[in-house]
Amino acid sequence: MPAPLDWYKDAVFYEVPIRSFMDGSGDGFGDFAGLTERLDYVAALGVTAIWVLPFYPSPLRDDGYDIADYHAVDERYGTLEDFRRFVERAHELGLKVVTELVINHTSIDHPWFQRARRAPAGTIERDFYVWSDTDERFPDARIIFTFSEDSNWAWDEVAGAYYWHRFFSHQPDLNYDNPAVHAAVLEIVDFWLSMGVDGMRLDAVPYLYVRDGTNGENLPETHAYLKTLRGYVDQHYPGTMLLAEANQWPEDAVAYFGDGDECHMNFHFPLMPRLYMAIARGDRTPVREILAGTPEIPDSSQWGIFVRNHDELTLEMVTDDERAFMFDTYAQDPRAPLNVGIRRRLAPLMNGDHRKIRLMLGLLFSLPGSPFLYYGDEIGMGDELDLPDRDGVRTPMQWDDSPNAGFSRVPEGELYAPPIADEQFGYDRVNVAAQQPDPDSQLNWVRRIIAERRKHPAFGRGKVDWFEPADEAVLAYRLAHGTGTVFVAANFADRPAIVDVPDGVDVFSGRRVSGSLTLDPYGFRWISITGRA
Ligand code: NOJ
């Protein structure tokens, strides 16, 4: 049976930076050959889609989000042929492939920029980017990379003008007022989608257009452009999913769904830090409030739920007090803060407490939307705060306890980054090979929970009803889809909690439950009330 056009509603995504996953070529750098060889592992997790981070030729000053050529594979990752083989193998295993469409900015190394800076002002070539004689335009646009940038303008000697950049100064923003930029984007879209890519994450999508007198985010022009892009993709590549990376408050974030005619998916950024707040406070309120304040979304739209990713744990969508609380609680190490966030992984954030890690993952896999699991979180990988920028959460995948964590056969010390080797999360103890045979390992637990999720389409498709248990530590909700209904109760507190549940079957134990039951500290239950909705 062909996959439905809205396959993303039932999907479980797995996020992979290719550089970090598996080195097939033996140069200390993960690549498509290695990833393709390890796709069996990915499929065996039970995930249904793989999201790969940028792999295009790049000076890698922002890990490939600084693209120098949109129509090729960086040779460190392999060749276009390797990419094709990767897509083919993923599809054989039933995995959808999601790639990155980074169209807000390029690298300064991109030929478009090199051409632009030399082209006379006012030409189409020059106007691929946004230029100004002063660095004082658009004063209301915030700075995103606060640790490295103090302006959104950078001076270019060759052009004799300032260029606009919302991220690093080596990433000039493309100019969406230039129709030639739109045409160039469609060529990129055609290039990858015609090779069988099933979905694209639209990096940094709120910032495409900029206008005087605005903060340069979420502008009507940006939404209009995205609708056009969606129309094109629907017409030429039906069933392709567009995923917005729109780190915005709920009311602005939902705008990226349009009326079901813009992006199919968008990450729920405001929810993510509130899961951490709730577990630290033993109180559901932060999660409950943000979800209560999230407008309904069109039927065909879907939230992307995540607890961690390749970036810092962003705290842009919280209040000042909440941010202070998050930094106090989770970033006591002075090396942990980065920009407006915290550059740590899930397991260290939870102090390695399995109950808390499992609660966070339990919510990841059951809150309304489709989950995105970050590579390595299935085995509880740690991070390395001595590495610069966000590199410490992008270390080599820990396959086994052999040198280089089984990631590469180069001599130790020649990897793109060292594997985690600390006492708690080091590869000698936290690795796939050690967890495979252990039925109680985190890896096998993650496989089980994904398998259970997939048995119940209500998780991805259900209409949600929230309950307000008397104990404020408990988050409780019901997801109903057709005759399949699931009830979830999660205890954010470090003490037992009582909750009333409907008659049903505990998904994990297979036992019947009804009435009131006691949740363990940080415990959660999924109860199936199939056929009784
Ligand atoms: C968002 C990406 O997730 C991040 O890694 C990158 O640095 C910025 N966009 C800029 O491209």
Q: DSSP string covering 113-148, please?
A: HHHHHHSPTTSTTGGGB-EES-S-S-TTSPPS-TTT
Q: Is 311 in the pocket of ligand 1 (CB under 6 A)?
A: yes
Task: Give me the mean pLDDT over the 224-245 stretch.
Answer: 98
Q: Residue 163 is encoded by which pair of tokens?
A: 């260029």
Q: What is the per-residue pLDDT for 127?
A: 98
Instruction: Report pLDDT digits (tens) over 487-511.
Output: 999 999 999 999 999 999 999 999 9
With a cut of 50, say whether residue 182 has pLDDT above it. Answer: yes
For a mutational test of ligand 1's pocket, the pick from 167, 170, 174, 374, i.e. the residue with the most ligand atoms closer than 8 A to its C-beta, is: 167
Name the catalytic one among 82, 100, 127, 203. Answer: 203
Q: How confident is the model at residue 529 (pLDDT cuts 50, 70, 90)?
A: very high
- How many other CB atoms sit within 10 Å of the CB of residue 331? 20
Q: How confident is the model at residue 530 (pLDDT cuts 50, 70, 90)?
A: low
Q: What is the per-residue pLDDT for 283?
A: 98
Active-site residue, 383 included: no
- How many other CB atoms sit within 10 Å of the CB of residue 121? 11
Name the catalytic one among 245, 377, 391, 452. Answer: 245
**Distance from residue 19's CA to the centre of ligand 1 (Å):** 16
**Distance from residue 337's CA to the centre of ligand 1 (Å):** 17
Q: What is the per-residue pLDDT for 308?
A: 98
Q: What is the per-residue pLDDT for 421?
A: 97
Task: Give me the mean pLDDT over the 435-455 stretch.
Answer: 98
Active-site residue, 203 included: yes
- What's the pTM value of the predicted model, to 2 decimals? 0.98
Q: Give residue for tokens 């030639």.
A: 180
Q: What is the per-residue pLDDT for 533?
A: 41
**Distance from residue 511's CA to the centre of ligand 1 (Å):** 45
Instruction: Report pLDDT digits (tens) over 144-176.
Output: 999 999 999 999 999 999 999 999 999 999 999
Task: Give me the mean pLDDT over the 389-396 stretch.
Answer: 98
Atom of ligand 1 minimally distant from the CA of 309: 3
The C-alpha atoms of residue 455 and residue 190 are separated, in whole angstroms, by 35
Query: Is 405 exposed, middle or buried, given 0-12, 13-18 or 19+ CB atoms closer than 10 A?
Result: buried
**Distance from residue 204's CA to the centre of ligand 1 (Å):** 7
Q: Residue 233 is encoded by which pair of tokens?
A: 């993709």
